[in-house]
């Protein structure tokens, strides 16, 4: 593939990825409102179009036309920079996430992924760790007590759970021997006895999977770890002073992060896009993407389900849970996994 | 070629960030400049073929160490630093360029004597002949096989430092 074709193909892939991700983010908000509403015996959004199907568009328009306020004593450059950092880091993680095997369009043979790097997982961890600045700077630059306190809580929480999250992935890395997400998925191909898939989840990473899920909920500030924006207790959170599109950027970043986390869970523990493939060539090349999307959807649904079910942690419980329970458990998982691999 | 262009772009960003770090009056702006410096350093590591070190640079330095710096600045709510008026302007005007030229000359002489100037900046020149050395597998092999003892001793040293910090920070009952 020449350099010109490569650039064109890459730009097309980036545009498709951003478009699909942002649409998915918009409709996840609708899904969330609908599902939580039905869990609470309500209807949820039902006015804008059938089943409220145009609600995300209406919300988007509302965000654009809202008055954009900047507090008079805010640090303006950083106040502007914070939501930008949050959104950019949330979207950039998608660059190394594969959504399916290779496809051929005409003479162009390309992976279903923006770029395959051999340190893919580390890139994602790096980008997420930089994302903390969005939260920290938002709280500080607003020059408001509420934002400041909430941002300290949120960034301390994100940093604490990042450690448990990172350590929970080590078991998977030991089993696959690579940081490339595509290699990790390929290492999970095949079945035992013809029907049990060789997913990392079934290769003994059950504990790691649950540590990952819990740490991921805390990383994305979702219930039961949503202390950063406990709307019934705090005044909104680190984005108290933000309005209009700047608030929407934080909102989009949060949901995009949910997708990153769900994609990673599918790739690392549930075999990525593996699944039965059949039918004509065009269906054959698209079925893996469908299986992958199905897994991601399942994770998003569980996110919403948990939100509709569980109460919120207290802050000291949250910290104790992360440092005294998840962290030792993750280390124990690493020790056991490496012993099993070494003795095999 | 692309390596060289990227190197000069990110080297310029790195030096610019470092100068901005000194020039800024507000500590938080200085801290953010330092993050820029670390980010561009990571890109330079990447250009040198050290992928693992580049990723760790971002995760550990930009993502963890600097967050603590920013935390401290935020918590203390440190204001604009005061400028001490003494110090002559002539010294500033002549001293800074003089220092840069002197340092540059010194580095040039040292690299000429030790033969370090034969090493190119682009990745391919270094990669030639040897197998990949900067990927996680190679780094892991070095750390856990060839240099296992120094690695473990260093980790014990860090553990002692952490325990010392905990003891010092603990409030007396």
Integer CA distances (angstroms), A320 to A226, A309, A328, B92, in order: 15, 22, 11, 52
Choice between A32 and B170, residue whose per-residue pLDDT is larger: A32
**Beta-carbon separation of B52 and A119 below 8 A:** yes
Q: Is A105 helix (H, G, I), strand (E, B) or coil?
A: strand
Flag whether pLDDT at B25 surpasses 80.
yes
Flag whether pLDDT at B38 surpasses 90.
yes
Mean pLDDT of chain B: 83
Q: State residue B125's pLDDT score.
A: 44
Encode pLDDT of A143-160 as tens digits.
Answer: 888 888 888 888 888 888
Flag whether pLDDT at B98 surpasses 50.
yes
Q: A149 to chain B nearest CA, in Å?
A: 10
**Beta-carbon separation of A119 and B67 below 8 A:** no
Q: State residue B149's pLDDT score.
A: 93
Q: State residue B43's pLDDT score.
A: 92
**Beta-carbon separation of B28 and A78 below 8 A:** yes
Q: Is B25 helix (H, G, I), strand (E, B) or coil?
A: coil
Residue B114's pLDDT band (boundaries 50, 70, 90)? Answer: confident
The region of weakest confidence among A226-230, A280-284, B123-127, B157-161 is B123-127
Flag whether pLDDT at A52 surpasses 80.
yes
**Beta-carbon separation of B67 and A139 below 8 A:** no
Nearest to B13 by CA among B45, B50, B52, B40: B40
Choice between A191 and A58, residue whose per-residue pLDDT is larger: A58
The residue range of the domain holding B143 is 135-173
Q: State residue B14's pLDDT score.
A: 94
Q: Say what the ipTM of the complex is.
A: 0.84
Is the residue at B101 inside a domain? no
Flag whether pLDDT at B118 surpasses 70.
no
Indicate the residue of A126, A136, A151 with minimum beta-carbon distance to B55.
Answer: A126
Residue A20's pLDDT band (boundaries 50, 70, 90)? Answer: very high
Is the residue at B145 inside a domain? yes
Q: What are phi and psi of B45, to 5 degrees?
A: -60, -45
Flag whether pLDDT at B130 surpasses 60.
no
Flag whether pLDDT at B144 surpasses 60.
yes
Q: State residue A332's pLDDT score.
A: 95
Distance CA A117, CA A57 (A): 35
Choice between A127 and B83, residue whose per-residue pLDDT is larger: A127
Q: State residue A243's pLDDT score.
A: 86
Nearest to A228 by CA among A156, A164, A299: A156
Task: Using a pLDDT cut of 90, give the percent of chain A over it.
Answer: 43
Is the residue at B107 inside a domain? no
- Classify residue A7 by its DSSP letter: H
Q: Which of A266-280, A297-311, B99-113 has the highest mean pLDDT?
A: A297-311
The whole-number average pLDDT for the span A103-113 is 82
CB burial of B144-167 (b: ≥16 within 10 Å; e: otherwise) equals eeeeeeeeeeeeeeeeeeeeeeee
Tell me the chain A residues in contact with residue B76 when contact means C-beta distances shorter than 8 Å.
none
Indicate the residue of B62, B75, B135 with minimum beta-carbon distance to A130.
Answer: B62
Residue with tokens 């709510």: B77
Mean pLDDT of chain A: 89
| Total count of residues recorded for chain B | 173
**A183 contact partners, CB below 8 Å, separation of at least 6:** A118, A176, A177
The whole-number average pLDDT for the span B60-77 is 86
Choice between A224 and A211, residue whose per-residue pLDDT is larger: A211
- Picking from A122, A123, A157, A177 by the largest number of B CB atoms within 10 A of its own CB, the best residue to mutate is A122
The 3-class secondary structure across B32-60, one letter per residue, is: HHHHHHHHHHHHHHHHCCCHHHHHHHHHH
**Domain range annotation of chain A:** 69-343
**Beta-carbon separation of A129 and B59 below 8 A:** yes
Is the residue at B70 inside a domain? no
CB atoms within 10 A of CB B23: 10
Encode pLDDT of A74-87 as tens digits.
Answer: 888 999 999 999 99
Number of domains in chain B: 1
Q: How many beta-carbon pairs below 8 A join chains A and B? A: 63
The whole-number average pLDDT for the span A204-230 is 87
**Beta-carbon separation of A152 and B55 below 8 A:** no
**Beta-carbon separation of B70 and A152 below 8 A:** no
Q: State residue A339's pLDDT score.
A: 94
pTM over 0.90: no
Tell me the chain A residues in contact with residue B64 when contact means C-beta distances shorter than 8 Å.
129, 159
């Amino acid at each position: 593939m020449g350099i010109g074709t490569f650039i064109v193909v890459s730009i097309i892939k980036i545009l498709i990825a951003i478009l699909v991700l942002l649409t998915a983010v918009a409709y996840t908000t609708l899904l969330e409102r609908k599902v939580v509403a039905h869990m609470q015996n309500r209807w949820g959004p039902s006015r804008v179009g059938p089943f409220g199907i145009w609600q995300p568009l209406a919300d988007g328009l509302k965000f654009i036309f809202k008055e954009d306020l900047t507090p008079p004593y805010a640090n303006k450059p950083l106040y502007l920079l914070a939501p930008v950092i949050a959104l950019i880091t949330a979207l950039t993680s998608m660059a190394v996430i594969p959504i399916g095997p290779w496809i051929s369009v005409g003479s162009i043979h390309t992976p279903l992924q923006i770029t395959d790097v051999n340190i893919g997982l580390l890139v994602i961890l790096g980008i997420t760790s930089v994302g903390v600045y969005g939260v920290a700077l938002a709280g500080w630059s607003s020059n408001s007590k509420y934002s400041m306190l909430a941002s300290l809580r949120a960034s301390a929480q994100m940093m604490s759970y990042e450690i448990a999250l990172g350590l929970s992935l080590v078991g998977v890395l030991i089993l696959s021997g690579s940081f490339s997400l595509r290699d990790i998925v390929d290492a999970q191909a095949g079945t035992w006895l013809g029907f049990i898939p060789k997913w990392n989840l079934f290769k003994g990473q059950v504990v790691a999977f649950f540590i990952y899920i819990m740490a991921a909920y805390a990383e994305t500030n979702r219930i039961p770890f949503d202390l950063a924006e406990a709307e019934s207790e705090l005044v909104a959170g680190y984005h108290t002073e933000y309005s209009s599109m700047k608030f929407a950027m934080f909102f989009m970043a949060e949901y995009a992060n949910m997708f990153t986390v769900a994609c990673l869970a599918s790739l690392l523990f549930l075999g990525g896009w593996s699944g039965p493939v059949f039918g004509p060539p065009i269906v054959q090349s698209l079925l893996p993407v469908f299986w992958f999307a199905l897994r991601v959807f399942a994770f998003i649904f569980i996110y919403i389900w948990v939100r509709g079910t569980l109460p919120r942690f207290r802050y000291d419980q949250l910290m104790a849970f992360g440092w005294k329970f998840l962290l030792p458990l993750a280390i124990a998982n690493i020790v056991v996994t490496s012993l099993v691999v070494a003795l095999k | 070629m692309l390596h060289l262009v990227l190197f000069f772009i990110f080297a310029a960003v790195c030096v610019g960030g470092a100068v901005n770090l000194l020039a800024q009056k507000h500590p938080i702006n200085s801290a953010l400049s330092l993050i820029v410096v670390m980010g561009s350093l990571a890109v330079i590591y990447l250009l040198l073929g050290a992928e693992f070190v580049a990723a760790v640079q971002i995760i550990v330095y930009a993502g963890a160490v600097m967050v603590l710096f920013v935390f401290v600045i935020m918590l203390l709510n440190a204001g604009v630093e005061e400028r001490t008026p003494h110090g002559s302007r002539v010294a500033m005007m002549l001293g800074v360029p003089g220092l840069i030229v002197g340092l540059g000359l010194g580095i040039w002489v040292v690299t000429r004597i030790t033969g370090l100037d034969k090493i190119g900046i682009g990745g391919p020149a270094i990669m030639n002949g040897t197998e990949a050395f900067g990927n996680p597998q190679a780094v892991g092999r070095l750390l856990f096989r060839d240099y296992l003892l120094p690695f473990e001793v260093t980790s014990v040293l860090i553990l002692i430092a952490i325990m010392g910090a905990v003891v010092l920070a603990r409030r007396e009952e």
